[in-house]
Amino acid sequence: MEKITATSIFESLSSGLRLDVYRLLVKQGSAGLVAGEIAATLDVPPTNLSFHLKALTQAGLLSVQQEGRFQRYRANIPLMLDLIAYLTEECCAGNPEQCAGLRAQSSCAPAVLPPLT
């Protein structure tokens, strides 16, 4: 991942509403949600939501698929995992095994953490 891509992702998620949208779609997995369901779940006016969905889509965090007159949004989970890997790839000067003890202090599930090797 390039630094400019990571920066764009963080800028996109800097809005509390956008972060809520992304987390909601991550929870939905590959099923995603149509825009109206997102708006109803988060209690956001659809006109306000469309601006935020566009920003998340432009950053690559969401994919959108037309379904008749609806648009279904899905979280780009591989991009999220790439971002996590980018942030941690040089952990402990490129020796992530040195950080093994720090992993226990994290509330993150071990299955989503990058490998130590």
C-beta of residue 64 within 8 angstroms of C-beta of residue 71: yes
pLDDT value at position 115? Answer: 66
Token couple for 1: 């991942």
Q: Which residues pair with 74 in a beta bridge?
A: 63
What the chain holds in terms of domains, given with CATH numbers, is 3-76 (1.10.10.10), 79-112 (no CATH)
With H, G, I as helix, E, B as strand and everything else as coil, classify residue 1: coil
With H, G, I as helix, E, B as strand and everything else as coil, classify residue 72: strand
pLDDT band at 113 (very low <50, low <70, confident <90, very high): low
The residue written with tokens 């920003």 in the block is: 55
Say how far apart CA 74 and CA 84 lie, in whole Å. Answer: 19
pLDDT tens for 7-49 read 999 999 999 999 999 999 999 999 999 999 999 999 999 889 9
pLDDT value at position 96? Answer: 65
| More confident position, 55 or 91 | 55
pLDDT tens for 43-77 read 999 889 999 999 999 999 999 999 999 999 999 99
Say how far apart CA 101 and CA 113 lie, in whole Å. Answer: 13
Instruction: Read off the pLDDT of each residue in 89-104 and give the average, rounded to a whole number.
Output: 72
Q: Which residues pair with 64 in a beta bridge?
A: 73
The residue written with tokens 């890997």 in the block is: 85
